[in-house]
Structure 1
Amino acid sequence: MRVTRELHAPKPALSPAPDLTTRGTLNRMAGPSERIVTLLSLLQDGRAWHVAELAERASTSPRTLRRDIHRLRDLGYPVARSSGGSYQLVSGDAMPPLVLTDEEALAATVGLRFAVLDQIEETTSAADTALAKLERLLPSRLRHRMEALLPPTPPVHTAEQVAPHTLRQLATSASLHQHVRFHYTDHAHQHSQRSTEPYHQVLLGRRWYLLGWDLDREDWRTYRVDRITDLTVPGTTFDPRDLPSSGVVRFVRDSHRFPETPPPAVVRFHAPAATLSELLPHHEGRLEDIDESSCRYTITIHSWEWLLITLTATGIPYRIESPDELVTYARDTAQRIAQAADP
């Protein structure tokens, strides 16, 4: 009975996986609860495990292993057994709790942080709650690493959000090669009805785009999904065409003139690097001393507006060394601020 209480005791849905020894096998576990977590962490890699190999990696006997497999099934984990005697964790009717390694937990947390910035209606709250659950369980050693990977500025939601049913319907129609019709508003605010063969949806610059063959214009077109309304599926299908030779992502990028990676911004501060190290997001750039009283900050970033705000917020005198475009942008911004402050 004591074993039953341990097996059914509440446990977090996301917990770190056991550490590996230098020989590649898992550390020997004393209790059944720890043994179950060890077994689960092994099964979650998706491969089919033979009984003998799985028992050796879990540091237990084949007989005990089989009992533990039954316990996992009782807890809702769909562990299947093949005709050859191998065990494998497969998909089931519900989402069971997961065991994550440190790197997996870190990747999931950072991904959820950025998912909060998405443009899909009704999903932000789900990302927020999932992130809150994971961050509550995140060990302090991982919390510091996570913060180092994220930008220091708070997330900002954009106004152009995409209806989730639009993304789902476009994805389904592309998969089934179904024609779609919709009302579209272009960048010049011109309205039109489009009949299209949908192929791929691409996320670029925090916006969703659809690559499709426009039947009326008889050419490839890209559409911003947030500008698509009144989407319908007439029920007809099409034979897929050869995609643009440049590739889907490159074609969408070129069609909407996405900027290439900008040149790095180089800024000289009249203070040593030690003074600036706590004031700048140096994990996104490089901070190095020039001499005892000055340092140089180098960073590649698309938003010069954000960079100027960050530089000015340090309160340390600085001078922009390059590129010339940033120097011009800073001068124009300073002029606008000065004019706004005039009585």
Structure 2
Amino acid sequence: MDSPRKRMLRLLSLLQTGRQWTASALAEASDSTPRTLRRDIEFLRELGYPVSSTRGPGGFYQLLAGRSLPPLILEDDEALATVLGLRLSAVGEAGNGDTAAAAARAEEKIRRLLPPKLRRRTEQVLAAVEVSGTNADTPSPSLLQILGEAVTSHRALYFSYAPKSADLAGAESDSPRRHVEPARLLRLQQRWYLFAWDRDRRDWRTFRLDRITSEPLNSTSFHPRPLPAEDLVAYLREHFRGIPELTVTLLLHASAEEAARRLYRVDGSLKPIDENSCRYTAHVDSYAWLSLVLVLSDVEFTILEPPAFREEVTALAHRLLRGAGNNQRYAEERS
């Protein structure tokens, strides 16, 4: 039989799964006798763990939610997965500072409490994993909470929504008002989306959370409609694949962190080269849109591929020179 300390930790780990345990099953799983189990349960209650129990043939033990968070016991693989997940959240999302900071603090607290052997294993995994930030904004926790509550309580919402052409201006006054019945929150292609029934357009629509320009307001309740597909993620991926996608590769003369802050309006991936440059692969449905973003983002760049995008930027530069009246320079570049 294990030592009392190991037995107690194992018992607590079993109870924290949230399932209902019969006395015999819990005693066997924690490697203890029924009498020892009852004593251990009482000890946990004295420590503040709300362990409920029912007597009789259908009796069971279960750890309930309490008023405060008691110490959490994790198995080795659970602790490793938790730390890695928090690292991905803290480093991989380059958008919402509050969320990233909270994830980093939680990761540090867990790593500090790990036993030396498990801490070394965790450090080895983290050292071997390279996580690059996305160039998409992470939604604020308050927005996620509002939308999540609307989905589960079946409350319609009003909010202002900026069309793609208004992304750069970010002006709420120019954003049309939408009235929707929220169905699901999804994360696809490094973006967060609300999938909802648009009451004005009488059809299903996806709304990028970073384009919601006002705090959503509750409207009336609604009866949930049947979703257009059982697997919404697969359904939307197929929908997105139907949109023509152009790929552009750039050498950006800025750090990956700086580029991620400035180019959040475009889907793509960043690969650091050194502290002053990075490789950027952008996925867009319009060369003109990417050209405009690059100009307004004020990031020095070199086009690596494709030639078609280089021609698009060259034509735009010539048009701007003509508009500025610099015909002599334009003629020189044409020769």
Q: TM-score, normalised by structure 1?
A: 0.62
Tell me the residue number matched to 1:99: 73
- Write the mapping of 1:262-281 to structure 2, written as runs, cut at 5 A: none
Q: Which runs of 4+ in 1 moved over 4 A?
A: 254-260, 302-305, 329-333
Match of 1:79 among 32, 35, 51: 51
Return closer, same or farther for 1:156/1:226 CA change in 2, 3 Å cut-off: same
Return closer, same or farther for 1:41/1:234 CA change in 2, 3 Å cut-off: closer
Are residue 223 (structure 1) and residue 207 (structure 2) matched?
Answer: yes
Give secondary structure in 2 for the equivalent of 1:221.
Answer: strand
Tell me the residue number matched to 2:314: none
Tell me the residue number matched to 1:240: 224
- CA contact 1:185–1:228 (8 Å) conserved in 2: yes
Tell me the residue number matched to 1:48: 20
Tell me the residue number matched to 2:252: none
Percent of aligned positions with the same letter in both sequences?
39
Larger relative helix fraction: 2
Partners of 1:166 and 1:135 lie apart in 2 by 29
Partners of 2:38 and 2:46 lie apart in 1 by 13
Return closer, same or farther for 1:95/1:258 CA change in 2, 3 Å cut-off: farther
Return closer, same or farther for 1:95/1:54 CA change in 2, 3 Å cut-off: same
- CA contact 1:202–1:208 (8 Å) conserved in 2: yes
Give secondary structure in 2 for the equivalent of 1:188.
Answer: helix
Are residue 172 (structure 1) and residue 137 (structure 2) matched?
Answer: no
Partners of 2:218 and 2:305 lie apart in 1 by 54
Match of 2:104 among 125, 128, 144: 128
Partners of 1:225 and 1:160 lie apart in 2 by 9
Match of 2:40 among 58, 64, 68: 68
- CA contact 1:102–1:142 (8 Å) conserved in 2: no
- CA contact 1:180–1:231 (8 Å) conserved in 2: no
Partners of 2:151 and 2:80 lie apart in 1 by 33
Tell me the residue number matched to 1:205: 189
* Runs of 5+ consecutive residues of structure 2 not aligned to the other structure: 167-173, 245-266, 278-302, 311-335
Give secondary structure in 1 for the equivalent of 2:213.
Answer: strand
Give how far 1:231 is off: 3.1
Give how far 1:112 is off: 0.5
- Write the mapping of 1:242-261 to structure 2, written as runs, cut at 5 A: 242-245=226-229, 247-257=231-241
Partners of 1:143 and 1:120 lie apart in 2 by 25
- CA contact 2:133–2:270 (8 Å) conserved in 1: no
How many pairs were matched up?
248
- CA contact 1:121–1:162 (8 Å) conserved in 2: no
Q: TM-score, normalised by structure 2?
A: 0.63
Partners of 1:193 and 1:65 lie apart in 2 by 60
Give secondary structure in 2 for the equivalent of 1:100.
Answer: coil
Tell me the residue number matched to 1:141: 121
Aligned-residue CA RMSD in angstroms? 3.5
Letter in 2 for 1:126: A
Partners of 1:167 and 1:236 lie apart in 2 by 19
Give how far 1:54 is off: 2.8
Give how far 1:248 is off: 2.1
Give how far 1:47 is off: 2.9
Give secondary structure in 1 for the equivalent of 2:86.
Answer: helix
Partners of 1:93 and 1:58 lie apart in 2 by 26
Letter in 1 for 2:271: W
Give how far 1:211 is off: 0.8
Tell me the residue number matched to 2:284: none
Are residue 306 (structure 1) and residue 271 (structure 2) matched?
Answer: yes
Give how far 1:90 is off: 2.3
